[in-house]
Amino acid sequence: MKQRKKGAALVEFALAFVILIPLVAGAFQYSIGFLQALRLEAAVRAAALYGSQLPYLSSTETPDSGFLIAVQNMALYGKPEDTGKPLIPTLRPEHVAVQVSLAAGVPRTVSVSIRGFTLVLPTGNRLLDGKPASSFPFRGRFEPR
Amino acid sequence: MVLILVAVALMLLLAVTGLAIDCSRILVTRGIAQGRLDAAALAAVLELDGTRQGIDRARQAAALAAGGLLDNLKVEFAAEPGSAWEETPRSPALFRFARVSAFIRVRLTMLRTIVQKEATEFRAVATGAQQPQSPLPPDVIPDQKSLSRRLSEDTDFTARSYAEYAARGRGNGRRIVPSPEGARFILPASAPAAIPSTEPIGAYLQGSRWKGAGESGYLTAVLLR
């Protein structure tokens, strides 16, 4: 009788295990994906906001390298220098697209978006191309060289 | 007994999972909406020049910067942060603050059956201001203290013209400002330029085609937290 009860408990445990483990694993993976999405959203917003107040030295929509690197670093490290721990370990400078739009020859908006970055989710990997994105009106000094 | 326990535990587990999923969606939406509102507030502030046209432009710029995400956008203006916010100021001469708000609606998915609601709604707000700045970057004039003193001595915040400024006897009749050339700000590389006596008093707003509202000197658009 005692052995029968033990067997039943084992079967119940096995069944619960089959349901619970994927549920916990899914929740864990979802939370990591969600955290990455939140971080990316915050990173592009901080980078665009920072870029909107930097001096803009180029006379075209292609920013100068100093501007580009500083804005990309803001998204990657949370500061203009490429030092310290990256906010999102797998994010690289080539994933951070910086666009400056001109109107009547003057910078109007600074946009930052994520391109070609793969977000790992329980439902499968998701390629981020153009999202998340953030735009701010340019309010820095315009000093074309 | 075991069946009942499992059923209750499973329901609780599903409810908690639903809460986590819906809360995360609300958080992500809130982040996106706040970013759009911040951009809208700054875009509005950059258009304020003390005129009714400036107020109209500010409203349009805010709507454009907010994008389609926020369809119930409310744009208000104030002369000071503590004063009343007005959607259509009667005399906008000194209005240099813009507040942009919207109700954000997030559709519920997992929690819909538990809370008996289709969606949840929250209000997001962003406030921008035209803030007086030192007229030249620190590398041009290293002594910021003397520059600030000079600015405070030379600045009249309410004079509407050079004649009024001079008649009040404040300052020394000359003020340092960056030279606006059309829509561009060209900073002088060496000696700062003085305003000619015919130049009306008005603040140059960095990054804007318009002179700023209600201040004189040099302004920049900032977000207030």
Q: Which domain holds residue B92?
A: 2-129
> Cβ contact (<8 Å) for A137 and B39?
yes
If you measure CA to CA, which chain A residue comes closest to B135?
A141
**pLDDT higher than 70, residue B183:** no
> Which 99-138 residues of chain A touch chain B by CB within 8 A?
104-107, 132, 134-138
Q: Are B20 and B27 in contact (CB under 8 A)?
A: no
ipTM of the complex in this document: 0.76
Average pLDDT for residues B138-151, to the nearest whole number?
50
Q: Do B98 and B74 fall within a single domain?
A: yes
Instruction: Report the interhelical angle of B52-66 vs B2-47 (nearest 10°).
Output: 150
DSSP per-residue codes, B128-141:
EEEEE--SS-TTTS
> Residue B191: pLDDT band by 50, 70, 90 thresholds?
very low
Does B101 share its domain with B28? yes
Taking the Cβ of residue B20 and every Cβ of chain A, the question of whether any pair is shorter than 8 Å is answered with yes
**Final residue belonging to a domain, choices B82, B102, B129:** B129
Q: Please report, as a single letter, which amino acid is at residue B96.
A: R
Instruction: Evaluate if residue A102 carries a pLDDT over 90.
Output: no
Interface of A with B in 9-68 (CB under 8 A): 12, 16, 23, 27, 30-31, 34, 37-38, 41-42, 45, 49, 52-53, 55
Q: For chain A, what is the total number of helices (H) and then of strands (E)?
A: 2, 3
- Of B129, B164, B195, which one is at a domain's C-terminal end? B129
pLDDT in tens, B61-95: 999 888 866 678 999 999 887 888 999 998 888 88
Q: What is the pLDDT of residue A68?
A: 93
Cα separation, A107 vs A142, whole angstroms: 7
Reported pTM: 0.74
Q: How close is the nearest chain B Cα to the Cα of A94, in Å?
A: 23
Answer yes or no: is B138 within a domain.
no
Question: Which pLDDT does position B169 carry in this prediction?
Answer: 59
CA–CA distance, B47 with A134 (Å, rounded to integer):
20
Q: What is the mean pLDDT of residues A49-74?
A: 89
pLDDT (0 to 100) of residue B150:
53
Residues B149 and B123 in one domain: no
